Amino acid sequence: MNPRHLTLHQLRIFLAVAQHGSFARAAEALHLAPPTLSLQVKQLAQTVGQPLFEQIGKRIYLTAAGHALADACRDIEDRLQRLGEDMAALQGVERGRLRLAILTTAKYVVPKLLGGFCAAHPGIEVAMVVGNRETLVQRLAQNQDDLYVLGQPPEHLDVVCEAFADNPLVPIAPPGHPLTGVRAIPPQRLAQEPFILREPGSGTRLTTERFFAAHGARLRTRLEVGSNEAVKQTVAGGLGVAVLSAHTVAAELALGDLIALDVAGFPLLRRWQIVYPHGKRLSPAALAFKAWLRDHRPTAAVPSPSAAG
């Protein structure tokens, strides 16, 4: 194979198919007619001299040659992105692109900071993905974004972590709960209540379970739900208690839709972390956003436990 015969257009089409796992979805994403896309991939495979995909049932999978080419495509895309940013920096203007991935809980904090950053740096294009911990860890492992905002960095990946804000976790209950007004509730007592938990793998859930396990208590799980909003609504409906970030429940506590319980050992103090792969060369836009977070640290007021009555 002579790499000089490959074209950027073909490589971008191939990478889209590899990422979407579907010719049809890749064609839709690239706004190309499916026959046109298929022809480009066929010509690319002929140039490479090896099949790039294999079909098993209705699904397509990358061959060994396809995986190697996909890795090269990602390297090329990243290098072209850095080239554009370097050229912009040499011109003395603020341009470039920031790819940000944040935890669902962080959506109550980061978008406000991002709004101020975009106003101060209007030449920087921003793309933000919001997802659960599992999704973000997968994206981090594949180096799909510039920066990641997590509460608990993955232990199995070689990453750089920089804390930028406190993220206290607090126990919440519906108004009128029997433990309202009780002071210094033992963790073992709270564990007897039915709990509403996030899905397995959630950073908030991991921290909560570790806290109660350290006190010799096992939670009574009533429901597992996939978002903070669902947790809040379920607790407000009287189905159980929960532990969530103080950032997440500030509005509901202020309105009286939820109450904070006085549990010994709470709040659980965690910190928001900016995370990225070790050795990653951060773009000027990513460096600027990191500096912005350091200079505009958000604060979370820990709610006072609700009084009886």
pLDDT digits (tens, 9 = 90+) for 259-271: 999 999 999 988 8
Q: What is the tens place of the pLDDT at every residue in 168-223? A: 999 999 999 999 999 999 999 999 999 999 988 788 898 999 999 999 999 999 99
Selection from 198, 196, 199 nearest residue 240 by Cα: 196
Q: Is 245:300 a contact under the CB 8 Å cutoff?
A: yes
- Tell me how far apart the alpha carbons of residues 295 and 49 are, in angstroms, rounded to a whole number: 53
DSSP letter, residue 241: B
CA 250 remoteness from chain centre: 21
Per-residue confidence band for 59, with pLDDT thresholds at 50, 70 and 90: confident
Residue of higher predicted confidence among 257 and 84 = 257
For the chain, the average pLDDT equals 88
Phi, psi of 172 (to 5 degrees): -125, 155
CB atoms within 10 A of CB 182: 16
Estimate the crossing angle of helix 8-20 against helix 64-90, to 10 degrees.
120
Residue 309 has pLDDT above 60, yes or no: no
pLDDT for 91 equals: 55
- The sign one gets for the Cα dihedral 87, 90, 96, 99 is positive
Residue 235 has pLDDT above 70, yes or no: yes
Q: Looking at beta carbons, which pairs linking 45-51 to residues 24 or more positions away fall under 8 Å?
A: 47/1, 47/2, 47/5, 47/6, 47/10, 48/1, 48/6, 49/1
CA R_g for the chain: 24
Q: Is 104:226 a contact under the CB 8 Å cutoff?
A: no
- The sign one gets for the Cα dihedral 295, 297, 298, 304 is negative
Mean pLDDT of 110-135: 89
HSE (CB half, 13 Å, CA atoms) of 168? 17
- Tell me how far apart the alpha carbons of residues 122 and 5 are, in angstroms, rounded to a whole number: 39
- Tell me how far apart the alpha carbons of residues 259 and 177 are, in angstroms, rounded to a whole number: 9
pTM higher than the cut 0.75 = no
pLDDT for 93 equals: 44
Could you tell me the end-to-end alpha-carbon distance of the chain, in angstroms, rounded to an integer?
A: 78
Percent of the chain whose predicted confidence (pLDDT) is above 90: 54
